Structure 1
Amino acid sequence: MTVNPYFLTFELLMYGLLALSLYDAHGRGWHVVWQLLASVLFGIMLEWATIRQLHAYHYGQFLIMIANEVPLAIGVGWGVIIYAARLYANATSLPRWARPLLAALLALSVDLSMDAIAIRLGMWDWGRGLDFQYFGVPWANFWAWFWVVTFFSAGLWLLADGKSAVSRWLGPAGALLLGVSGVLLTNDIIVYVVPQAWQTTVIAVTILGTLALTLALHPRISSRPLPAPARWTPLIFHLFFLTAGAISGVIFHPPLLLAVSLSIFGIAWTR
């Protein structure tokens, strides 16, 4: 089997970020390690379930594949992104109910530069061509990202952050079920309930409305320095896809993709 160097590098980076996150989680307690591992399991389950539900995309051949459909590194990627986003949200002054929303927006900021470059590298394929909607990525993908992180993060904050042993050890399993159910439900809503002519509007209103609400709450970092995963996980994602996109040349087609990716990286760097 021919090993794609971009795929392999991505996989190694994901496992490195998982090690960084596990080290941080272990310092917070074994129940936090379980939350992180549940996030990885959630990532694998939601990918498998979504592929089976919608048949909207498929992955390239990575080194380690689950059921020959989902790369293990993708599940790990979900896990470390959710973990980093929750750490960041917990370091802010936002009320607890708003933190899953901020976590979802932070995760979305990673995907806004990642997805368009990844499809050009062949990591996955939406089957719509590279000029479709957002540089070849359906707008519905960002709807899914938003609800994936919102539901699972809310589940962890509601069910797993208590002080009792039952909450700490059973909560992540409950969050996993809530997350997968919520994602499948919202997938159905945007694909089968919302008229196609209204889908982009509904997605934009949902995400931009959440952004406006979050900004209206005047979030500020109340705990410095940020935990290492909260700082480095998004930066490493951005750096990898910027670098891979530049080396392969795909980030220059169109040039606007480079401008968008650099802008998002700049925002992540100054957070």
Structure 2
Amino acid sequence: MPASPSSSAQAAREALAVRLSHLRRDAGLTGRELSARCDWHPAKTTRIQKGEVAPSDSDIRAWCAACGADEQVDDLIATSRAVDSMYQEWRRLHRNGLRRSQENAYASNAQASLQRVYVSNVVPGFLQTPAYATALLSSITRFQGTPDDVTEAVAARVARSRFLYEGNHRYAVLMEEWVLRSRIGDADAMAGQLRHLLTVMPLASVSLGIIPFAAERSVWPLEAFYLYDERRVAVETLTARIGVTQPRELDDYAKAFEGLSKMAVYGDNARALITAALDALG
């Protein structure tokens, strides 16, 4: 697993490495002796114990067998997979296309009562129109070189909008003004998307704030993040989705969201910015 910018993922990876190191020591083995029993190079053992690489399922089985701890295999494999889920590369998630990840996002939306969302790049998926989503997901597919199932992925993405209208779901969305001006798709697709934002703004389930270009920054522009209730945060980078569950990090994202919300404008002032972006399309 690549090094993650999330300390939650790093801490979990290091905790797994410590557990494996303790197994080796409890068995009275040196790193070189364990490596010989596992039939791999000692450098591999060192990298696993330092948390530099993630052990595969077969590595964990071999490690436990060498230490006489077969009873711990299932638990350690489950822990390793949980760590792996904290840092998920987009190309890995999209190796069979985009539809599956969109369906997973649908489930996350269904389970959350409150979503606090900050975006500095594109409109959040649950507020996207089909034309906007098609243009965006097509560009992602081309960039990543993954299988093209954009039509199915768009349907799954747009389906999330149902939660704006049903159930007890609430969405607090903060959007940099740049998102309104960054053209995704042609002028018609972008105009349709901006009009849709104006349409959903009056919904009781939606609070939409726009952070103007000219706002004095108390919180610097960040990468997009989605805070689901008080349980977890999904941070989206160019190459990966990072899952954050560590309480102090959740607090940091909540604090950042509060600071960003104070810089945003709402209601008529937000509508004015959206309308100005719409007018600029000609």
TM-score, normalising length: structure 2: 0.25
**Relative contact order: is structure 1 or structure 2 higher (C-alpha 8 Å, sep ≥ 6)?**
1
- Structure exhibiting the larger radius of gyration computed from Cα positions: 2
Higher helix share: 1
Higher strand share: 2
TM-score, normalising length: structure 1: 0.26
